[in-house]
Structure 1
Amino acid sequence: MKSKRIAYSLCGEGFGHYGRSIGIIKSLAFRFPDHSIDVYCYDYTFDMMTRDKDLPDNVTVNKIPGFRFRHNKKSKVVFLRTILFSRKNWITGLKLLWIEIIRFIIQPVVKLFDKKTTIAYEWTKKYVKDFDLAIVDWEPLIPIICKLRNKKYISIDSIHLLEYAAYRKEGFSIKDWYYLLVNKLLIKVWSPLSNISLITTIYNFKIRNKYASKIYEVGPLVRKEMVEIKDQVVYEDFILVYVRKVVRATILPVIKKFTSEKIIVFTEDLTEIEREQYSASHIQFHDVDPKIFVDYLRRSKAVLSTSGYTLISESVILKKPFFAIVLGGILGFEQKLSLYSLQKSGCGDGCTIKDFNIDKLQDFSSKIAHFTEVLQSKDFVDDTERVCDIISEVISDMSVFDNFVRILQERDAMLKG
């Protein structure tokens, strides 16, 4: 097979994008040693990728412009502050806008005089090298460049459920539906419909008919370490809490009052003043160290964190009940959807950060045994290798690209039959 160049781009927000992508990247690199994989990322995921000392030789990491969301003191994502009052986001936005101008205006005009023009490639090669196929995890630059260079791409994420799934009305307020509309508009701009969209979920949503030929649902995607410790899980008498810096001031005061359970807290850059402020006999603090965190996750009896999909996935894979805290603001609907999936699957509970209080924690604590029993009856498996199988088939035969979701659906129907 002729060697190919694969572009793999990741969003820079939080740990989740790195956590679910690193296994896919390494597996593809192992399966296709003659192909090159150029990883494009920024901020947190760039730091994580460059720290990884076990990357295969055919994987390179490249930094690209990227957006970072801004939060207020109540831990809500502030849309206007993110868009209007961030110099870095302004610069990134202008770069993306310029690429779109090239795509919609400059390139068509130039093609009138020079049909073999390479203006699109020349203007974007400083960000992204040439590639044959792209894989995107909720990152906006590569989809735009794919359209510009007429390349196909696969998206892997959970957030596209906001656009593709058919929802029932229960559990969502009028404000939620407004937020959903805004999120759908953002998705159309940020990451439009790909040739193949792989949706990772713990709860099977009904996909809207108009998207059925492009969307394929897969199970949780977790790090290799989670799969390796799955048979070593125990349930010790503590709840594991992962709390990011931006939400500490809201979550930790409630945790401090929750004295009926032993709490192990992982958080980054905790100051001495904060440590003293939130310390209590039932709380133990740790800096974020992935290896230590995984061990505590393996031994915990339940997990509490914001409603990020990756940690929820890792928890249910290890059969740990999860309490999900949904951050507010316009961009909080994705987390609301993660909580909805968690509740519908019977694997945990949660609330919005505005409603987070000790009563919610005590109620969750009283149901941990029930959630654990439900989880024991479920067979969640890591679908990383399954996703790699799908991508590998496409890499091996690019001609199936546009019809591949239908091929997968037909295979599933035959297996069920």
Structure 2
Amino acid sequence: MTRLSHLTRRSLLKNSDYKMRILYGVCGDGFGHSSRAMEIISHLQKKGHKVLVFTFGQATSVLKNAGFRVVEVEGLELIFKNNKPSLKETIINNSGRICRNLIDFYRIKKIVDNFSPDICISDMETVVPVVSFFYSLPLVSIDNQHIIAHLKMKVPKGYKKDFYLTKIGISGLLKADAFVILSFLKKRTRKENVYIVNPILRKEILLLKPKIKDKVLVYQTKPDKRLIKILRKIPEQFVIYGYNMQKKEGNLEFRKVQDKFFENLSDCKAIIATSGFSLISEALYLGKPYFAIPLKQFEQELNALFVMQSGYGEYSEKPSKKKIEHFLANLDFYRKKIKRHKINPKEAFAVIDRVLKKVKKEYYI
């Protein structure tokens, strides 16, 4: 398909039945971005829209295997050293990625011209916002990170430096026409182009019928040998993901990510994991107490603080045997608190539909 002129596109989009061509950028770090993108893209395609995905890293195979049309680009990634984000390594690594995207400019341009998008969506991905700018296309941001940039929040003293650095980074990442922000809590905002919605849950989660069995689910983004040593000393059964191996060692059962993850998530009595937004959302929906071990980045620290302050579990950057045992001894208390937390998994899709319609009208009609 050849690139449409602005006038031709405006003429087509005046027709309310016209289905849009959407260029969707998905951050490839971890599985949280790709898991919610799968649900959003499926929803958009059911509405008749055509979607082309730009992504990188782990999300590339995940979204390709789901049957979506995917183009791999060089995305910006957070680089870890000794289980901590490294600013120096991140800058060095991403400088090379930016250069490779510049070298690859004509391939990307050809793909964009052939697809001829009407609108762009970005979930913390950086190439699609650049495309939006150069092609003068409307951009919608859909993620949970922008809550840091757009809402006022009380930040504990020890986290203020991380908060302001993160806020500056996120605010400078992209300039969108609308922001759909996924949040644990329903907060109000006076900004007309900012919409706060409930988390998006995978369809597999919505189909689960949770039970409480004897195992504790453990999930780590990066392997943590220190945590494994602690868990060996605790008289509980742990099923562990994130170490890319399949074996049983005493009270520890290691599994690869795709192996019975939903089953174990549904049946576990508690979760010990890094404090990613998506997994915490799923845990709360299923009623599972959560021991959060945040990565050294403010968004994860913010999620972990929410878990602890809400009474849904505990939080520690350096978990000890004592802290984990205290958590496991108080699961009934956390479950009672979690019962009060309500999630409407359909809300985000209705808001996304409304925002796309509004942006289309403001931009083209």
- Normalised-by-shorter TM-score class: 0.7 to 0.9
Contact 2:199/2:348 (<8 A) preserved:
no
Q: 1:6 aligns with which of 14, 22, 25?
A: 22
Indicate if the aligned counterparts of 1:203 and 1:345 stay in contact, CA closer than 8 A. Answer: no
Partner of 1:252: 228
2:270/2:289 contact within 8 Å kept: yes
Whole-Å separation in 2 of the counterparts to 1:398 and 1:164 = 19
2:197 to 201, 218, 242: 218
- Offset of 1:124 from its aligned partner? 5.0
User: How many residues are treated as equivalent by the alignment?
Assistant: 345
Residue identity (%):
23
Instruction: Tell me the secondary structure at the aligned position of residue 247 of structure 1.
Output: coil
In structure 2, distance between residues paired with 1:350 and 1:10: 28
Q: Distance in 2 between matches of 1:313 and 1:97?
A: 37
2:78 partner SS: coil
Is the CA contact 1:325–1:356 (under 8 Å) kept in the aligned structure 2? Answer: yes
CA contact (8 A) 1:203 1:344 kept: no
Q: Give unmatched runs, 5+ long, in structure 1.
A: 100-120, 403-417
Query: Which amino acid in 2 is paired with 1:160?
Result: H
Q: How does 1:3-402 map to 2 (within 5 A)?
A: 3-32=19-48, 35-52=49-66, 55=67, 59-73=68-82, 75-84=83-92, 86=93, 89-94=94-99, 125-126=109-110, 128=112, 129-169=115-155, 171-173=156-158, 176-190=159-173, 192-205=174-187, 207=189, 212-229=191-208, 232-244=209-221, 246-259=222-235, 261-270=236-245, 280-289=249-258, 292-328=260-296, 332-352=297-317, 355-382=318-345, 385-396=346-357, 398-401=359-362
Q: Distance in 2 between matches of 1:339 and 1:206?
A: 22
The change in CA–CA distance for 1:394 and 1:203 in structure 2 (over 3 A counts) is closer
Deviations 1:128-157 (A, max 9, x none): 442111111111111122122211111111
Per the TM alignment, residue 351 of structure 1 is displaced from its structure 2 partner at its CA by: 1.4
What SS is found at the alignment partner of 2:316? Answer: strand
Q: Deviation of residue 189 (structure 1)?
A: 3.0
Long gaps (5+) in structure 2: 1-16
> Secondary structure of 2:254's partner?
strand
Cα distance in 2 for partners of 1:234, 1:61 equals: 36
1:46 counterpart SS class: helix
TM-score when normalising by structure 2: 0.87
> 1:394·1:401 contact (CA, 8 Å) conserved in 2?
no
Deviations 1:342-371 (A, max 9, x none): 23333222111xx21112101211221111
Q: Say if 1:12 and 1:161 are closer, same or farther in 2 by CA, change over 3 A.
A: same
Aligned to 1:109: none
* 1:394/1:165 CA distance change after superposition, 3 Å: closer
* Cα separation, 1, equivalents of 2:106 and 2:102: 16
Q: Which amino acid aligns with 1:347?
A: Y
Residue 336 (structure 1) shift? 0.7
Superposed CA offset, 1:276-320 (max 9, x none): xxx652222212116x10011110111111011111111111111
CA RMSD of the aligned region, Å? 2.4
Shift of 1:243: 1.9
What is the letter of the counterpart of residue 215 of structure 2? F
Supply the AA of the counterpart residue of 1:166.
K
Contact preservation (8 Å) 2:244, 2:255 = no
Compare relative contact order (CA 8 Å, sep 6+) and give the higher one, 1 or 2.
Answer: 1
Kept in 2, the 8 Å contact 1:196–1:401? The answer is no
Give the Cα–Cα distance (whole angstroms) in 1 for the partners of residues 234 and 228 of structure 2.
10
Contact 1:242 1:266 in 2 (8 A): yes
Rounded to whole Å, the distance in 1 between the matches of 2:277 and 2:87 is 21
CA 1:22–1:131: 2 relative to 1, 3 Å: same
2:42, 2:123 → 1: CA distance?
15
Which consecutive segments of 4 or more residues in structure 1 shift more than 3 A? 95-99, 121-124, 126-129, 204-207, 393-402
Aligned to 2:81, the other structure's residue is in SS state coil
Q: Distance in 2 between matches of 1:233 and 1:216?
A: 30
User: Do 2:289 and 2:335's aligned partners in 1 also have CA atoms closer than 8 Å?
Assistant: yes
Asked whether the equivalents of residues 136 and 155 of structure 1 are also in contact (C-alpha less than 8 Å), the reply is yes
**Does the aligned pair in 2 maintain the 1:226–1:294 contact within 8 Å?**
yes
CA contact (8 A) 1:166 1:205 kept: no
**AA paired with 1:387?**
A
SS in 1 for 2:84: coil
What amino acid sits opposite 1:83 in the alignment?
Answer: I
Matched residue of 2:213: which SS? Answer: coil
TM-score of the aligned structures, taking structure 1 as reference length: 0.77
